[in-house]
């Protein structure tokens, strides 16, 4: 019954043990968190590895911890823990909603947030809302720690900035500033279990008048090999109040920046239309929510 090729199995108990193992054999290893991507890739022989390091049961790597200035989410926290977290909903609802959209419930009880960004698929569910919420990805190795923005972590389809001895240990998300709100949306081909044709997250911050846009961020996934952070949308919005004409322009700007491909899931043309529709809807929603926040 060995359909996977042979590898040696390691089950470290602490983060320090994981980092030691990575320093020693990181170049010949794959980390196993939920396994929802890795086990499939091993089965399909898309990758081979001499060692598998199971990090799923390392307690220090998982959990949701609130701090004075925000929240820290361990890399091995499962997507279902995030989806079910009543404490996260209020301020980090865009991430909670994105979590609820990933795969099926069984996939979500296994899949981890660290695995989602580390797999670096262009259609990953959580990188866009993490960017919109101004999250920081914390990367550690025996050599030390460094931090990056989610949008700078992914370099292309299944490519990221991790060195062989490094891992993602947690995400730090700051408390949202006053009069700001983030939204997330995704459109696939059917309602459940789909891989997104397009996903997007938006963050709008308003001035104290609760009308004028102080800053704006729009990130789209699945429309290029890596998530795209819009440059056109913030320059359209900052300093203005949102109106119908501006919303139309936001849709056009996002469409002009997306460089989608045609594949079995959707044509490039359809994806561009979806980008426009999502950009208009999510910007409006974020603006309205920011007026209340």
Ligand X SMILES: Cc1cc2nc3c(=O)[nH]c(=O)nc-3n(C[C@H](O)[C@H](O)[C@H](O)COP(=O)(O)OP(=O)(O)OC[C@H]3O[C@@H](n4cnc5c(N)ncnc54)[C@H](O)[C@@H]3O)c2cc1C
Q: Which residues bind ligand X (CB under 6 A)?
A: 30-38, 40, 75, 102-103, 107, 110-112, 114-116, 118-119, 124-125, 162, 167-168, 195
DSSP symbol at 88: H
Rounded to whole angstroms, the Cα distance separating 289 from 253 reads 22
Closest CB to another protein among residues 80, 134: 80
Closest CB to another protein among residues 115, 129: 115
Cα–chain center distance at 70 = 17
Indicate which of ligand X, another protein, none lies near residue 264 (CB less than 5 to 8 Å, by partner kind): none
Closest CB to ligand X among residues 32, 95: 32
* β 29-32/144-148 pair status: unpaired
Closest CB to ligand X among residues 46, 178: 46
Main-chain dihedrals φ then ψ at residue 3, nearest 5 degrees: -90, -10
Interface residue with another protein, options 19, 22, 32, 79 (CB under 8 A) = 32
240 Cβ contact partners less than 8 Å away, ≥ 6 residues apart: 212, 213, 246
Interacting residues with another protein between 44 and 83 (CB under 8 A): 52, 54, 56-57, 80
Indicate which of ligand X, another protein, none lies near residue 87 (CB less than 5 to 8 Å, by partner kind): none
92 Cβ contact partners less than 8 Å away, ≥ 6 residues apart: 71, 133, 173, 176, 182
Closest CB to ligand X among residues 33, 229: 33
Structure tokens at 68: 């004075």
16 near another protein (CB under 8 A):
no
Sign (positive or negative) of CA dihedral 282, 159, 36, 133: negative
Indicate which of another protein, ligand X, none lies near residue 125 (CB less than 5 to 8 Å, by partner kind): ligand X
Contact 182, 145 (CB under 8 A): no
CA angle (278 as vertex; 274, 182 as ends), nearest 5? 155
CB burial of residue 67 (10 Å; 0-12, 13-18, 19+): exposed
Interface residue with another protein, options 4, 23, 64, 224 (CB under 8 A) = 4
By rule CB under 8 A, what string of x and - marks binding of each residue 134-173 to another protein?
----------------------------------------
Contact residues for another protein (CB under 8 A)? 1-9, 11, 32, 35-36, 39-40, 42-43, 52, 54, 56-57, 80, 84, 103-107, 109-110, 191-193
């Amino acid at each position: 019954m060995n359909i996977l090729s042979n590898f040696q199995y390691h089950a470290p108990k602490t983060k320090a043990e994981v980092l030691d193992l990575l320093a020693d054999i990181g170049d010949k290893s794959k980390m196993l968190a939920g396994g929802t991507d890795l086990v499939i890739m091993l089965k399909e022989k898309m990758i081979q590895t001499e060692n598998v390091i199971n990090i799923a049961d390392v307690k220090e790597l998982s959990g949701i911890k609130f701090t004075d200035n925000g929240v820290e989410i361990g890399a091995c926290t499962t997507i279902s823990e995030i989806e079910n977290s009543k404490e996260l909903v209020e301020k980090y609802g865009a991430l909670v909603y994105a979590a609820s959209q990933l795969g099926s419930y069984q996939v979500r009880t296994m899949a981890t947030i660290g695995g989602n960004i580390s797999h670096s698929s262009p259609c990953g569910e959580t990188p866009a809302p993490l960017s919109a919420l101004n999250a920081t990805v914390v990367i550690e190795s025996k050599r030390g720690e460094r931090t990056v923005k989610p949008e700078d972590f992914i370099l292309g389809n299944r490519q990221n900035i991790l060195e062989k001895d490094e891992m993602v240990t947690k995400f730090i998300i700051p408390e949202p500033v006053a009069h700001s709100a983030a939204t997330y949306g995704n459109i696939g081909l059917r309602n459940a279990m789909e891989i997104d044709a397009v996903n997007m997250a938006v963050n709008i911050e308003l001035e104290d008048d609760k009308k004028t846009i102080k800053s704006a961020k729009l990130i789209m996934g699945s429309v290029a090999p890596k998530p795209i952070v819009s440059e056109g949308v913030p320059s359209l919005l900052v300093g203005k109040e949102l109106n119908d004409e501006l919303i139309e322009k936001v849709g056009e700007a996002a469409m002009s920046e997306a460089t989608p491909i045609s594949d079995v899931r959707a044509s490039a043309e359809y994806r561009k239309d979806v980008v426009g529709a999502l950009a208009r809807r999510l910007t409006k929603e974020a603006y309205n929510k920011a007026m209340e926040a």
